Amino acid sequence: MSHPASTSIVVDGVSKYFTMRYQRTLKQMTVAAVKGREISDTFKALDDVSFTVEQGESIGLMGLNGSGKSTLLKLVNGVMRPDGGSILTRGRIAGLIATGAGFHPQLTGRENVFLNAAVLGMSEAETRRKFDEIVEFADIGRFLETPVGNYSSGMFARLGFAVAVHVDSDIFLADEVLAVGDKPFKKKCQARMQEVREEGRTLFYVSHAAGSVRKMCDRVIVLEKGRVGYDGDVAEGIKYIKYDPDDDSTPEVEDDDEDLGADI
């Protein structure tokens, strides 16, 4: 199947299954089997999901908890493979979809910047060139020279997002669930993501906050129990998921959107 050069992401009939085990120990499993009880259950996280994203589109991926959003993000990123269907992506993908992914706890923040950048496909020369910008963005001060195993989850996230957002990528993935940090840092993240969007990159943004989806995205995909329930206009998508549009029409609440960093 050929796709035009302007196509960024093609998700075609994608399904993903997980197995949930009920019994923990071998003894419990043996007893359950003897008594004819279920020992595990297969859960369908994604069920025949299809959509196409053009280069430069900003997609807001919405849905209730457990609807499959983070699973889909990991599949697009390539850290998991679909059990059915296919995913094609064009160009370099950046963004963080797991706090601390690509970090080594015994290495310092400085060493981890180079390690993490390499994981995201940056050359050492590219990382050196952007190092000061990355460190300034992360704003972790003297902790740069200490092992990241001592970091709080907030510091992890700041450093991880700072590296990811300085990678020259074609697709940027952002998961708000992992966003931590104070309000000024979240605002800084959001401003940087607006720049990413204006640079003509594809933005794939998982969020619960209607206000920032409205600001950041030009299309909304809503997942419901692993299936695409809605794909289209942002305002209609927010209405579809029954988020109260008045909830973030006031500036105070917009500031409080817990996902302004929408990042890591």
Does 20 or 157 have the greater pLDDT score? 157
Of all residues in the chain, what percent carry a pLDDT higher than 90? 47
Contact predicate 230/237, CB 8 Å: yes
The conformational region for residue 76 under phi > 0 = left, psi -120 to 50 = alpha, else beta, is: alpha
Residue 182 to residue 134: CA distance in whole angstroms: 18
Reported as a single tens digit per residue, the pLDDT across 130-151 is 999 999 999 998 999 999 999 8
Reported as a single tens digit per residue, the pLDDT across 37-91 is 776 678 899 999 999 999 999 999 999 888 999 899 999 998 899 999 999 999 9
The conformational region for residue 112 under phi > 0 = left, psi -120 to 50 = alpha, else beta, is: alpha
User: Mean pLDDT over residues 151-161, rounded?
Assistant: 85
Rg (CA), the chain: 20
pTM for the whole structure: 0.79
Could you tell me which CATH class the domain 7-91+170-256 is placed in? alpha beta
